[in-house]
Amino acid sequence: MVDWRKQWVRNGGVSLAVFEVAGSAADDSGEHRPTVLLVHGWPDTHHLWTHVAPALARDFHVVAYDCRGFGESDRPEGDAAYRLDALADDLFAVGEAVSPERPIHVVGHDWGSVQAWEAVTQPGAESRIASFVSVSGPNLDQLGAWARKSLSRPTPRHVKDVLAQAGSSAYTVFFQLPVVPRLFFGVAGSPTLWREFLHLIEGTPRANVIVGDTLRADMISGLRLYRANIRAKLADPRTRPTSVPTLELVNERDIALRPAIFDDTHRYTQRLWRRSTPTGHWLPYTNPDHLVRSASDFIATHASRSTPAIAARVDRTRVFGTPHPLSGKLAVITGAGSGIGRETAFALAEQGCELILADIDLAGADETARQSKALGTQASPYELDVADVGALAAFAESVRDRHGTPDIVINNAGIGLAGSVLAATDEQVDRLLGVNLRGVISGSRVFGRLMAERGIGGHIVNVSSAAAFTPQRSLGLYSASKAGVLLFSESLRAELGEHRIGVSAICPGIVDTHIVSATPIAGLPAAEEETERRRLDGLYRRRGFTPDRVAREIVDAIIGNKAVVPVTPEAKIGYRIYRFTPWLSRLGARQKVVG
């Protein structure tokens, strides 16, 4: 539990209970630390921050308070006392009391974020608020403007987004009824039921939900927030800009707030960073470690206490204009030195991802990193042989320690082997399976563990091939390696689904990359092998399907969480033939293509 030290702050006629983490005001040398003010929402109190405050207190002076109407603070009568301007005044009053000489850093959740938005959009707010981390709470004026704009040009997408948010917000209508909600929470507002509710809707561990003795009264008193603000703000939105640096943590599984409502935040925020994860509404209870790390990095950067590594992590979440779906994600790509890997790096760079680029050819990875940086992203090259299980495990640890746990992993590295199965050497077979199959399995395992331990989801892409479902007499070993990747990926997707980690198998067909020019052809003399390689390479070039088109399919698979993606027309046709008329595939396999 947290060692809170209580004091009182008065704003007008309202007394606010303020809680400081004991011993967090100064470091061991006596230097005063930056002050972080934690602001809760409905129906919480300062206890919401039980799992967050101690971790933040290792680096910052941490203060929380019970907002008016909650916990130990006063509960003024009437709805007018709960308007957002009054709540913003409370925030400034507490900030002035706990850090009179330096601006504060604010972390707000739910209605705590809503009232903090009201504060940071006040004229001159930047002189008292150094940074703002917004969690599960929009600016109500911006929300009203977004709804009006969406309905003024009602495309199917806009209508869908508005209807989805209206459905998620339906409870607010119930909350504004005159008597019924008071009666409901008078009966249902028990800590046990509240813990069960959060466990049911987003899997929050029951033991993580820490509430005060005032929960039932807080639920009822807090209803005035809805009556005092929702209708007025949405009916007459008055958007104002802010120059306070803002980090917006968007929870894609938020039961109350759809991600689309945050699409226009950049229009009103001069310095905006954004991080989206497949997490739920009550992040401080369910995923406190993710919140602590995100907030700590952001606050440290804007308190001039950051390291270059922290600054790089924060920079990749910066939003310039309309945010992309993958903005701020950390992506690892193997086989990134050329072909599909390089083009996928460029496609993710355009999405605003930070890139970790691995390849057995370090010079190729370096060149991909150089070109990716020209697109405005952070990119770090690494030398890696994915067939070396120990090296891959060490690489994963290095990525975690230097850059953080990746959000996206693309196991793309692969090699070819054609010709007779009987003529292939054991060394060729071992190398093929080591890179194409074991490399994918190892990469998925080491990074999958990191993603599962972090607890906020992620996505793994394994590059298979159309050869996985189009048997060919001259590609039996290669097809076996890629079929293994395909079925492994589908099985892994089922296993990792409970961790909200998506897995996609990408199955290109004939794509113009350099893999053919380096593919051994078993059973042919050296001179004939080189001639055959040139012939096949020419065929692939004439086909003209370039790797950037595969990269676009990979990005779409990540965004749409697709399971299996055949790429190229022949791959899509072959996939359906193998599924519905496999005998045709077997007939086709008898045709001699190589040699």
**Residue 235 is encoded by which pair of tokens?**
């009916």
What is the dihedral sign for C-alpha 329, 330, 334, 335? positive
pLDDT of residue 508: 94
CA-based nearest residue to 111, from 84, 130, 85, 151: 84
What would the pLDDT profile of 515-552 be if each residue is shown by its tens digit?
766 788 887 887 777 777 777 666 667 666 899 999 99
**Residue 149 is encoded by which pair of tokens?**
């704009």
Under DSSP, the state recorded for 252 is: T
Domains of the chain, residue spans: 4-315, 330-589
pTM: predicted TM-score of the whole model, two decimal places: 0.86
Residue 198: burial class (beta carbons within 10 Å; 0-12, 13-18, 19+): buried
User: Is 3.30.565.10 the CATH classification of the domain at 4-315?
Assistant: no
Strands (E), 216-299: 246-251, 272-277
**Residue 225 is encoded by which pair of tokens?**
């927030």
Do the domains at 4-315 and 330-589 have one common CATH topology?
Answer: yes
Rounded-to-integer distance, Cα 197 and Cα 355, Å: 39
From residue 177, how far is each of 43, 168, 170, 184, 217 by CA, in Å?
A: 17, 17, 12, 11, 17
Q: Which residues contact 547 (CB under 8 A, 6 or more apart)?
A: 339, 340, 342, 343, 511, 512, 513
Looking up tokens 């692969």 gives 414
Looking up tokens 């759809």 gives 258
pLDDT-based confidence at residue 577 (cuts at 50, 70, 90): confident
330-589 topology per CATH:
Rossmann fold (3.40.50)
Is a pLDDT exceeding 90 seen at residue 240?
Answer: yes
What would the pLDDT profile of 179-227 be if each residue is shown by its tens digit?
999 999 999 899 999 999 999 999 999 999 999 999 999 999 999 999 9
- The secondary element (H helix, E strand) that includes residue 152 is helix 140-152
Is a pLDDT exceeding 90 seen at residue 134?
Answer: yes
- The secondary element (H helix, E strand) that includes residue 383 is strand 379-383
Lowest mean pLDDT among 144-158, 178-192, 402-416, 438-452: 144-158
Residue 73: burial class (beta carbons within 10 Å; 0-12, 13-18, 19+): buried
Percent of the chain with pLDDT over 90: 78
Do residues 490 and 497 make contact, with C-beta atoms less than 8 angstroms apart? no
What is the dihedral sign for C-alpha 572, 574, 579, 580? positive
Q: Which residues are catalytic, by number?
A: 478
From residue 216, how far is each of 65, 69, 556 by CA, in Å?
A: 18, 12, 45
What would the pLDDT profile of 370-423 be if each residue is shown by its tens digit?
999 999 899 999 999 999 999 999 999 999 999 999 999 999 999 999 888 999
